[in-house]
Amino acid sequence: MASKVTSGVVVVAVSTSAVAPASTGTIAHEIRGLKFASQRLKGGLIECASEKTGLAGLLTRDIAKSLEKRASHASVVLYDRITHTSCRYGAYKHYDSASTIKPIILGALLLKEGVRLSGDERDLARQMIVSSDNDAMYALWESVGRKNIQRFLDRAGMTNTVLDEAGFMGLTQITARDQAKLLELLTGDDDSVLNAEERAYILRLMRDVQKDQRWGTPAGAPRGAAVQVKNGWLQRSETGVEDPWDRGDWKVNSMSAFTGHGYDYGLVILTENNRVPEGESPLAGWNYGTDTVERVAKAIHHDLYPDRTPPATGSRPPVKVAQ
């Protein structure tokens, strides 16, 4: 397992094994003051690192515990600049983006035009991020253009993100690592892609996301943290075709940056294979995916800041969300 430090955040290389058992015990070691821990889970490897004694092992175990009995396929990336902590699980696996593409489109617009947008562009940007309006998204997509969106991805170092060839924005293929890079960019101090005013504008809209869309990674967040969130969800097919990539399951994704009052960390959790049991409401798959995300999020928040968060117990009650 290789490691390096980027912008004060420990980066741990990811490896996977297709024949690993469902879950194995945690392995821990230390290199130059950094404590590392890893644990096999469902053919992949959870890897965490931290300067804080015991934290890497605790996070590794609790992420595994949160996911080991879930049918969802999931990927997790965490960075925390304050505790110099990071975790990864399935960081480079591709998922349908759903609405988590929307901050990327806004970033591309700002890279192209700067923060002095027209009134119409600002209205569309607010609708796209705060209300997750798809019509607003496609209006801005047409305005920005594919070439400029790709330019933003390249400048941001999001090299594993693949725009859909047919132009369906929600089918952009994203990875948890690239989405975490976006959060690091927005909350950092590097002006090479977007300047401070442009970054703050995106974060402000993510902070204003409407109440019924503030589920997922914010679940169990510590007291006083400013939460900048963007979620995405879609049901890929209603026909139940044989292709396992497209069998009517739900894709449920969530990403958040937590800042202010001594916090500076980001969390990305992507899921798919959230099935709808036969005879149940189609939203059963959405609820299952959201519950999967929130189980992991609550555990991570509590491990990072146990004196500022409620115990990471229980699951969320089923709710309904407009599609």
Q: Is residue 179 part of a domain?
A: yes
Q: Is residue 255 part of a domain?
A: yes
Distance of alpha carbon 199 from alpha carbon 206, whole angstroms: 11
Unique residue bearing structure tokens 């969130």: 229
Domain count, the chain: 1
Find the domain containing 285 and state its range. 94-304
Q: Is residue 159 part of a domain?
A: yes
Distance of alpha carbon 148 from alpha carbon 290, whole angstroms: 32
pTM: 0.88
CB atoms within 10 A of CB 280: 12
Mean pLDDT by 10 residues, the chain (323 residues): 41 35 69 88 96 97 97 96 97 97 98 94 98 97 96 98 94 97 98 98 98 97 97 80 64 97 98 87 92 98 93 60 42
Q: Is residue 167 part of a domain?
A: yes
Q: Which residues contact 3 (CB under 8 A, 6 or more apart)?
A: 10, 11, 12, 13, 31, 34, 36, 49
Distance of alpha carbon 108 from alpha carbon 9, whole angstroms: 25
Q: Is residue 2 part of a domain?
A: no
Q: Is residue 230 part of a domain?
A: yes
Q: Is residue 20 part of a domain?
A: no
DSSP string, 107-145: HHHHHHH-S---HHHHHHHHHHHHS--HHHHHHHHHHH-
Q: Is residue 149 part of a domain?
A: yes
CATH of the domain at 244: 3.40.710.10
